[in-house]
């Protein structure tokens, strides 16, 4: 399997220049490394498209290989098996989502604006512009093997945890009430639920457009802020 190629590849390339003998070696080695990474991503991207379009089970390895312009064997060089592709995809999307939200959550306070920003990040930069990832994260990854389900569960829990922690932080900053009624986990679960269903309802089922995003964002933020306030006050 590919040793997760997320290492600063450009840095490696620069260093390789200095060493004399290595040079030719490095060059081809580096090229191969780069090509491997490219292949890996090509296959992943092909799978993403097909899973989103045809569904996980109705997509065969051969189709993925064809779209990625590699052999079926090559797919098995880069991934343990079919399920592994789905899991890798899920994680990639999960990481991306957490990063997307994480950045906004960092700067967030209990202002309407910071919530609005989060909502926009999710609706515009994820749901609207990457519907394939949406379909895989919220639809195709559900109802598979227990292995997939386990990983999926963990991803959702991580996501929920991110939100929960952000709330705790924000609340501490406010320094007012660590009053009884405050339930960060449940708040996080509710928020994830709201966004999940909005994603499915408006972007997988109805095909909402850019114009709708504004309205959805505003209203959902209003809803959630109201909910949070209500819970904080106990």
CB 36, CB 5: distance < 8 Å: yes
Residue 5 contacts a copy of itself per CB under 8 A:
no
The C-alpha R_g of the chain, in whole angstroms, comes to: 21
Cβ partners under 8 Å of residue 36, min gap 6:
2, 5, 78
- When the beta carbons of 86 and 232 are compared against DNA, the nearer one is 86
For the window 57-96, what string marks contact with DNA as x by the rule CB under 7 A?
Answer: xxxxxx-------xxxxx-xxx--xxx-------------
Task: Output the six-digit token pair for 175.
Answer: 């320094």
- 101/206 Cα distance (integer angstroms): 24
- When the beta carbons of 45 and 139 are compared against a copy of itself, the nearer one is 139
Closest-CA residue to 81 (of 170, 144, 21): 144
- Interface residue with a copy of itself among 59, 116, 141, 151 (CB under 8 A) is 141
- 116/131 Cα distance (integer angstroms): 21
Number of Cβ within a 10 Å radius of residue 75: 22
Task: Output the six-digit token pair for 220.
Answer: 């959902």
- Interface residue with a copy of itself among 7, 197, 209, 210 (CB under 8 A) is 197
Number of Cβ within a 10 Å radius of residue 159: 20
Residue 35 contacts DNA per CB under 7 A:
yes
Which among DNA, a copy of itself, none contacts residue 186 (Cβ within 5 to 8 A by kind)?
a copy of itself
Number of Cβ within a 10 Å radius of residue 60: 13
- Interface residue with a copy of itself among 57, 80, 174, 210 (CB under 8 A) is 57
SS3 of residue 27 by DSSP: helix
For the window 199-228, what string marks contact with a copy of itself as x by the rule CB under 8 A?
Answer: -xxx--x----------x--xx-xxxxxxx
Residues 194-233 that bind DNA (CB under 7 A): none
- Interface residue with a copy of itself among 36, 161, 194, 214 (CB under 8 A) is 194
Nearest approach in angstroms of CB 31 to a copy of itself is 17
HEC sequence for 153-206: HHHHHHHHHHHHHHHHHHHHHHCCCCCCCCCHHHHHHHHHHHHHHHHHHHHHHC
- Interface residue with DNA among 15, 19, 23, 28 (CB under 7 A) is 28
Give the binding-site size for a copy of itself (rule: CB under 8 A).
48
Residues making contact with a copy of itself (CB under 8 A): 55-58, 139-146, 149, 153, 156-157, 160, 181, 183, 186-187, 189-190, 192-198, 200-202, 205, 216, 219-220, 222-231, 234
Residues making contact with DNA (CB under 7 A): 5, 28, 32, 35-36, 39, 57-62, 70-74, 76-78, 81-83
């Amino acid at each position: 399997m590919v040793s997760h190629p997320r290492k600063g590849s450009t840095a490696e390339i620069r260093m390789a220049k200095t060493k004399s003998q290595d040079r030719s070696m490095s060059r081809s080695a580096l090229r191969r490394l780069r090509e491997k990474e490219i292949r890996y991503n090509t296959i992943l991207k092909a799978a993403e498209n097909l899973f989103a379009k045809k569904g996980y089970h109705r997509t065969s390895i051969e189709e993925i290989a064809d779209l990625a312009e590699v052999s079926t064997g090559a797919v098995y060089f880069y991934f343990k098996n079919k399920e592994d592709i789905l899991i890798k995809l899920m994680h990639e999307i999960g990481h991306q989502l957490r990063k997307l939200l994480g950045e906004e959550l960092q700067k967030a306070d209990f202002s309407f604006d910071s919530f609005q920003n989060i909502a926009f990040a999710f609706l515009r930069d994820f749901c609207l512009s990457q519907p394939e990832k949406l379909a895989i994260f919220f639809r195709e990854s559900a109802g598979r093997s227990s292995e997939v389900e386990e990983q999926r569960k963990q991803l959702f829990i991580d996501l929920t945890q991110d939100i929960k922690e952000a709330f705790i932080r924000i609340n501490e900053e406010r320094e007012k009430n660590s009053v009884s009624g405050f339930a960060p986990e449940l708040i996080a679960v509710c928020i994830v639920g709201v966004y999940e269903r909005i994603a499915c309802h408006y972007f997988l089922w109805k095909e909402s457009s850019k114009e709708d995003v504004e309205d959805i964002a505003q209203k959902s933020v209003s809803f959630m802020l109201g909910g949070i306030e209500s819970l904080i006050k106990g």
